[in-house]
Amino acid sequence: MPDIKDLLIPAVAVVGLVGVIAGFLLTRGPKILLDKKRKRVQVLDVLQLTHDTKRIRLSTGGKNSRLGLPCGKHIQLFCPNPSTCISSGKWNGKDDMDRGIPEIKRSYTPTEDGLGYTDLVVKVYRPGKVQMPDGKEVTWEDGGKMSLFLDGLKAGDHLDINGPIGLVEYFGKGSFKVPGGTKEVQHCGMMAGGTGITPMLQIVAAALADTSDTTKFSLIYANKTEDDILCKDLLDQHVQASNGRFKVHYTLDFPPNGWQGKTGFITADMIKECLPPPSQKPLMLMCGPPPMVEFACKKNLEALEYPKGTYHSF
């Protein structure tokens, strides 16, 4: 008969091994979903935020998983190119910018990356009249391809994504990766329109969460109406908690009576008043509808003699 000690030694070894494995599983970091390969994720729920804006919560694959998006980068979403667009070659009265390909992709920045989920804030562009940043009013016959697709999603549906994507990344403490290299700044100017606020919010939140980060951020946030302002409570909370490091200037195309903010499209005078001047050698970031970025942002920055290497769009 074997000695009891001979039986206990293997048992103790097994118990010890199980403990080591359990400890490793408990202490290792979360699983990261993004690896620059296309993924299919499930919609967990959809929340209506405003008349034309929704928060879509996506699963990252489990309670110990997260999206893993570097600060300042974004993801691509995929959806079918509408059949009417493919057959006619037209969308919103113009030649199809996607050239009739069967599937399209668009870039979005999540507003939150939690364990087991990530949130997208989506502005839905439906058919109708739209006033552009250059002052022209245009009629969209069809609306926005991707936003209309996302508008139809419900809990349980699936969506294909890929990432991380993008040329701008925030490393912290005023250090940014931008096209052409790394830029170190003390003050960052920002201009956003609509859902273009999401990458700005991502960077500001990360900077303010680091008590050793002293970088300043000044933001002009443009919208049509007061109801269109996304995440205003969160933005205002960041302003209050920033000890002067973060300032937000809201501007509206159609302000309500008693509005205390700015009015109209982003102008050169607005940039001079609200954002750091070229003499401070800031980094200027832009995100919003292409006409806003081209007409209201880039052209005004050029007119104010910001060097080209100092401003970038997401």
pLDDT digits (tens, 9 = 90+) for 43-86: 999 999 888 889 999 999 999 999 999 999 999 999 999 999 99
Q: Which of 229, 156, 238, 249 is nearest to 204 (CA)?
A: 238
Q: Which of 53, 60, 79, 109 is catalytic?
A: 109
Q: Which residue has the tokens 């507003």?
A: 111
Active site residue 60: no
Each domain of the chain, given as residue ranges in start order, spans 31-165, 169-309
Average pLDDT over residues 174-183: 95
Known active-site residue 287: yes
| Helix H or strand E segment including 150 | helix 145-151
**The pLDDT value given to residue 29:** 82
pLDDT, tens only, 265-284: 999 999 999 999 999 999 99
| Cβ-proximal residues to 159 (8 Å cutoff; 6+ apart), any chain | 40, 41, 42, 43, 58, 77, 78, 79, 150, 153
Which CATH code fits 31-165? 2.40.30.10
Q: Does the structure show a pLDDT above 80 at 26?
A: no
Nearest to 58 by CA among 139, 125, 154: 154
State yes or no: is 108 an active-site residue.
yes
Catalytic one of 53, 108, 251, 310: 108
- Whole-prediction pTM: 0.79
Q: Selecting from 1.10.260.40, 3.40.50.300, 1.10.287.110, 3.40.50.80, what CATH number does the domain 169-309 have?
A: 3.40.50.80
Average pLDDT over residues 125-140: 74
Residue 135: pLDDT band by 50, 70, 90 thresholds? low
Active-site residue, selected from the candidate residues 85, 188, 287, 297: 287
Catalytic residue among 74, 187, 238, 312: 74
Q: Do residues 246 and 258 touch, judged by C-beta distance below 8 A?
A: no
Sign of CA dihedral 199, 202, 205, 210: negative
Active site residue 187: no
Mean pLDDT of 179-206: 95
